[in-house]
Amino acid sequence: MSTQTERIRFGMATHEWTPSNARPIVAMGAQVTLGIMLAMTYLLAVGGRQDQIALVAIAVSAAIAVVSPVAGLAMFAIIMPMQETDILMPVRVNAIIAGAITLGCLLRLPLDRSPLKVHPGIVLLLGYVVISGLSVPPVLSGHPPEWTGSAADELLRLSTGIALFLSATYLFRLIPYQIVLGLALAGATLAALLAVGDFFGFLPFEGQLRGLLSNFGPLRAHGGFSDPNYLGEYMALAVVFALGALAVARRPMKLLLAPIAILGFVCIVVTFSRGAYLAVLVGVVVLISTRNRAVALVVAIVAGILALTLYPAFLDARIGVALNPHEALALLRSESSRADLAAAAFAIFASSPVFGIGFGVFHFVSPSFAGDSAALATYSHNQFLNILAEQGIVGVLLVTGIAVLLMVALAKSRSPLRWAALAMGATYLVLSLFINSTTSFQGSSLLWLVTAAALTPGPERTAQVMEA
């Protein structure tokens, strides 16, 4: 057999293949294929509301993820944006799968010969989770016990994202990230098709898919998300990633990424989410500025002019009908409630400025500070204000340190995805002005995954370090 080295291309990167390493590649392909099969089984069971089959799929997927984290990550990449089944509530399916993948990675550590380096940002990230967790139990927080379930659920969603990030950074040292990110885009495409199809009333095989859709309301696309704004969050990140990947991809991949980006844009439009509109614009401008700052400035100016011109028509489309004076007043009250809750956040911070009132309890405490607006909304709808009120100066310093270290690490990275990850980070920061972003694993999952890929040197560099 010839020992001549051949090049096998995986989209945006080129990997060496020789007969000596053919076996690991075949094994990796088998694991990825298994992950895809598990994802399809789970989605079909949830979509068709086959609870018993869904339970079996969850159990089998978790068990396989412990033995083969690669298969678990491939499966998870597809189902991340999909609505979770509630048959195990309050335990979350996403947390089960992410935990199984992480456990599988930990079990591999004794067999892994490559050196592991703990970045200071990881230490801060884990410290943030620990401090958040310590504020949840009533015995430490002093809050009523009935608040604990809600706070623990929010902490679980945040921890799920962090577990995905940590396990992905480990696995991407061993396998090409392009495969997993390609599956993530496949999941994003499916989520967009479900949302757009449901919004326009064209959903083939609806009986087999209805379980994947939420029941938010008919006027705005929501798909499998509990709120259109969170669908907008995920799709804004998906569009920016697709465009960032398109800029560095080879021609065959460009032909796949372009329609994915277009579909994502369509999905964002029908969410009527102002935060998503602004966020995807910022992400695209950041991407363009990496190549031509003048063009980026022109795009930003033109978009601003269009936004001011089309905003009244946007409001009519979002509500579904032209607003009469009474409806306009109700909308104004709803909008003003956000300002009142922002003021409540600062008042809550003033009441406990160092450590805050405790993770995940803003919506319980805010009615005492928001007055009449509490009848309309109790959540902050702003992640920055949420951290300020719930975790005080300590939380703000921790999160700021994590963000700065993360941006520095991305700027130093040699990955072709570093600009896409930075643009997604800018998109996420804008989104966080309008929603509680970090506690939505469903909306944030793609950012966790792409960031892990952009920060990881990859299997070739890992092999070089091991040889050295």
> Does residue 85 sit within a domain?
no
Mean pLDDT of all residues in 112-137: 84
Say what percent of the chain tops pLDDT 90. 50
Helices H / strands E in the chain, number of each:
20, 2
pLDDT band at residue 329 using 50, 70 and 90 as cut-offs:
very low
Domain-embedded: residue 4: no
Whether 96 is covered by a domain: the verdict is no
C-alpha to C-alpha distance for 438 and 161, rounded to whole angstroms:
8
Given this model, what pLDDT does residue 7 score?
A: 35
Q: How far apart are the first and last CA of the chain?
A: 28
CA distance 339 to 3: 68
Lowest model confidence (mean pLDDT) among 93-107, 127-141, 321-335, 410-424: 321-335
Mean pLDDT of 205-224: 80
The pLDDT of residue 465 is above 50 = no
When mean pLDDT is compared across 9-13, 141-145, 295-299, 358-362, the lowest value belongs to: 9-13
pLDDT at 111: 79
Omega prior to 115 cis, within 30 of 0: no
| 445 pLDDT higher than 50 | yes
Q: Tokens in use for 128?
A: 């943030």
Higher pLDDT: 353 or 24? It is: 353
Give the distance from CA 415 to its chain's centroid.
20
What percent helix, strand, coil does the chain show, rounded to 5? 75, 0, 25
Q: How many domains does the chain have?
A: 1
Q: Flag whether 213 is in a domain.
A: yes
Predicted confidence at residue 369, as pLDDT, reads 81
Q: Are 80 and 145 in contact (CB under 8 A)?
A: no
Q: Which residue has the higher pLDDT, 433 or 88?
A: 433
CA dist 200 and 128 (Å) reads 42
Least confident of 20-34, 252-266, 327-341, 449-463: 327-341
Using alpha carbons, list the distances in angstroms from residue 117 to 121, 161, 327, 425, 468. 11, 20, 57, 23, 16
**Whether the predicted pLDDT of 223 surpasses 80:** yes
Domain containing residue 299: 122-467
pLDDT, tens only, 101-121: 999 999 988 877 766 677 788
Q: What is the DSSP string of 256-323?
A: HHHHHHHHHHHHHHHHT-HHHHHHHHHHHHHHHHTT-HHHHHHHHHHHHHHHHHHHHHHHHHHHSSPP
Average pLDDT of span 275-288: 93
Asked whether residue 99 is assigned to any structural domain, the reply reads no
Q: Has residue 30 been placed in a domain? A: no
The residue among 313 and 132 whose pLDDT is bigger is: 132
Q: What is the pLDDT of residues 168-182, one digit of tens each?
A: 999 998 889 999 999
Instruction: Write down the residue that tokens 């709120």 correspond to.
Output: 227
From the list 128, 191, 114, 103, the residue with the least C-alpha distance to 442 is 191
Spatial separation of the C-alpha atoms in residues 191 and 267, rounded to whole Å = 9
Mean pLDDT computed over 125-131: 91
- Classify residue 83: in a domain, yes or no: no
Q: Which two tokens stand for residue 402?
A: 């994590």
Q: Is the pLDDT of residue 271 over 80?
A: yes
pTM recorded for the entire structure: 0.87
**Which is more confidently placed, 94 or 334?**
94
> Residue 55 falls within a domain, yes or no?
no
What is the rounded distance in angstroms from the CA atom of residue 37 to the CA atom of residue 236? 28
343-396 residue pLDDT tens: 889 999 999 999 999 999 998 888 888 765 555 567 888 999 999 999 999 999
- DSSP string covering 14-82: EEEE-GGGHHHHHHHHHHHHHHHHHHHHHHHHHHTT-HHHHHHHHHHHHHHHHH-HHHHHHHHHHHTTS
Return the higher-pLDDT residue of 187 and 370: 187
**Structural tokens at position 174:** 């061993």
Residues paired with 8 in a beta bridge:
15
Average the pLDDT over 275-292 and give the result: 92
Judged against a pLDDT cut of 90, whether residue 205 lies above it is answered with no
